[in-house]
Amino acid sequence: MSSRRGFLQNVLAGAGFFTSAKILSAQDMQMSGDMPGTNRKGKKGSIQDHGSPVLVETPDVPNLPFRMDGDVKEFHLIAEPVKQEIVPGRIVDLWGYNGSAPGPTIQVTRGDRVRIIVDNHLPEATSMHWHGFEIPVEMDGAPGSSQEPIPPGGRFVYEFTLSQEGTYFYHSHMAMQEMIGMIGAFVMHPKETYKPRVDKDFVIILQEYAILPNITVPNSMNMEFNWLTFNGKSGPANTPLIVRQGERVRIRLINLGMDHHPIHLHGHQFVVTGTEGGRQPESTWGPGNTVLVGVAQSRDVEFVANNPGDWMLHCHLPHHMMNQMSSMVGPMSRRNGMPAGLDMERGMGMLRQGSATSQENGPSLGRGLGVGSTAEQTMSNSPLKAGNPMQRQDMPDMPQQGMRMGKPEVSKDANSVPGFPQDAFMEGPMMAMDKMVEKPENFGLRPGWSGFMAGMMTFVRVLPQDKYDHIMELRKKQEGNKPMKMDMPGMGNKHE
Ligand SMILES: [Cu+2]
């Protein structure tokens, strides 16, 4: 599987530069199409029943390049601060690897000897843990017990032979660092493809952050999250999973956060074929359409994409299907600013007076998003002011960029209905940003689609051959238009 890929790496490394991760992932895609065992309709000589597995695609996340050093596959990970654009215009400060949070995806084959050079470019110590790997303890990355933490500016070289298969991952073993982005997928392919073989294989990493409005740094102490991401993007910024009608699809879901996520697929039943411990025996495969991916777990699901359409794939926790969720979202859009100058205790949602269930504290206790905690009781769900509710009262001429910002459709007596507004200002036509998230994979979606996608939410687009080919063509064209940048990995070049 890796000979061509390894050859390419050697050529590039020999020429004295690394490809940018993005460019490499394009090459991988191309190669996965040429691999034996790949189902290419209409091409002669394709081997459909055996051969190497297809490479995984991690939408919006690059693959990690490697070079061969004798028989050893050598990877290089750099732990570093990352600027990550989770939706258009919302750039947040995370920590990740090689310019990406989550970090780039590593793919190996069972039996491989691998070396992973880990450099720490963070301002504090870190460690690298290989989650679920059966390797010697001194390679486990447990700080303090199996090794010294890697100091700022330091390096640790891991090397081991892998005799497992499945959806694994790597992550910092410093707990707070886990909550600011530091994880990546580590897929161990079998030597021979599983049966029934899949035509498409995807990885999605589930993460969550608590980031107050107008702040760019996640509060990793927080217990309630307002930004929920698939592969570092919130809906509608995710790149949809593109599959051809009739193909067998695997989606590998990985969760490292504070919540468990029930991931639901529309329009299809799937079977769970693997966990963080590897492949499950076929006798355990029962049908479902929602799989609970617990913290520190992975789940592989497989299905035959026989139902054409643009099908939602999302976490089904209602609060995980929203963006920038905050108690203040209603009042902020209709009133004159928000209270400022909260002290630390209240900012963190700590109880200062009265009981937990008192009228003042009850509704907001433990929500911990700070500004909303104190103001919610009197501010939320209050009557709308006259005029355009999406316009700042103090800056009526403020230009509205990007989103459409039209008036949401609400009934005339909306203000008299208890509970209003619920979704009128969270999703809908006025939140649409189709143009801002335009990309080949979104081509042909229903106009206005993006107004209803948020949080952990993307599409599995099951396309007939002609539409599938068209998107692949657009994708190729886009890749071709990109200038060949030869940046060093880890220079934060992901968002240029
Ligand atoms: Cu969730």
pLDDT in tens, 157-168: 999 999 999 999
Mean pLDDT estimate for the chain: 79
CA–centroid distance, 226 to ligand 1, in Å, is 11
Confidence of residue 202 (pLDDT cuts 50, 70, 90): very high
Quote the ligand 1 centre to 204 CA distance (angstroms): 13
Q: How far is the CA of 205 from the centre of ligand 1 (A)?
A: 12
Ligand 1 centre distance from Cα of residue 107 (Å): 26
Q: What integer is the mean pLDDT of 339-356? A: 60
Q: How far is the CA of 355 from the centre of ligand 1 (A)?
A: 30
Least confident residue range of 243-247, 333-337, 403-407? 333-337
Q: How far is CA 23 from CA 61, 106, 200, 431, in A?
A: 12, 15, 20, 32
Using H for helix, E for strand and C for coil, what is the string for the chain? CCHHHHHHHHHHHHCCCCCCHHHHHHHHHHHHHHCCCCCCCCCCCCCCCCCCCCCCECCCCCECCCEEECCEEEEEEEEEEEEEEEECCEEEEEEEECCECCEEEEEEECCCEEEEEEEECCCCCECEEEECCCCCHHHCCCECCCECCECCCCEEEEEEECCCCEEEEEEECCHHHHCCCCEEEEEEECCCCCCCCCCEEEEEEEEEECCCCCCCCCCCCCCCCCEEEECCECECCCCCEEEECCCEEEEEEEECCCCCEEEEECCCCEEEEEECCEECCHHHCCEECEEEECCCCEEEEEEECCCCEEEEEEECCHHHHCCCCCCCHHHHHHCCCCCCCCCHHHHCCCCCCCCCCCCCCCCCCCCCCCHHHHHHHHHCCCCCCCCCCCCCCCCCCCCCCCCCCCCCCCCCCHHHCCCCCCCCCCCCHHHCCCHHHCCHHHCCCCCCHHHHCCECEEEEEEECHHHHHHHHHHHHHHHHHCCCCCCCCCCCCCCC
pLDDT: which is higher, 217 or 2: 217
Query: What pLDDT is attached to residue 98?
Result: 97
Distance in Å, CA 402 to ligand 1 centroid:
27
Q: 260: CA distance to ligand 1 center in Å?
A: 6
Task: Give the Å distance between the CA of 100 and the centre of ligand 1.
Answer: 21
CA of 316 from ligand 1 middle (Å) equals: 6
Give the mean pLDDT of 230-238. 96
Ligand 1 centre to CA of 237 (Å) is 17
- Angstrom CA distances, 472 to 26, 28, 51, 53, 435, stand at 12, 14, 24, 21, 19
Ligand 1 centroid to residue 265 C-alpha, Å: 13
Kind of pairing, strands 457-463 and 67-69?
unpaired
- Residue range 295-335, pLDDT digits in tens: 999 999 999 999 999 999 999 999 899 888 765 444 445 44
For 349-382, what is each residue's pLDDT tens digit?
566 666 666 665 555 544 544 444 444 433 434 4
Lowest-confidence region among 51-60, 217-226, 440-449: 217-226
Burial class from Cβ neighbours inside 10 Å (0-12, 13-18, 19+) for residue 386 reads: exposed
Local confidence band at 409 (pLDDT 50, 70, 90 cut-offs):
confident
Query: Is it the case that residue 427 has pLDDT exceeding 80?
Result: no
**Residue-wise pLDDT tens digits, 25-71:** 333 433 333 333 333 333 333 334 457 899 999 999 999 999 999 99
**pTM to 2 decimal places:** 0.77
pLDDT higher than threshold 70 for residue 429: yes
Whether 146 and 133 have beta carbons less than 8 Å apart is answered as: no
Torsion region of 246: left, alpha or beta (phi above 0 gives left; psi -120 to 50 gives alpha): left
Q: How far is the CA of 462 from the centre of ligand 1 (A)?
A: 24
Mean pLDDT for 176-187 is 95
- Kindly give the distance from the C-alpha atom of residue 89 to the centroid of ligand 1, in angstroms, as a whole number: 23
Beta bridge partners of 264: 290, 314
Question: Distance from the CA of 486 to the center of ligand 1, in angstroms?
Answer: 37
- How many angstroms is it from 53 CA to the middle of ligand 1? 30
**Whole-number pLDDT of residue 362:** 52
The Å distance, Cα 246 to ligand 1 centre, comes to 29
CA distances from 38 to 45, 306, 398 (A): 10, 18, 53
Q: How far away, in angstroms, is 320 Cα from ligand 1 center? A: 5
Instruction: Calculate how far, in angstroms, residue 207's C-alpha sits from the geometric centre of ligand 1.
Output: 9
Q: How far does the centroid of ligand 1 lie from the alpha carbon of residue 458, in Å?
A: 13
Distance CA 89, CA 437 (A): 11
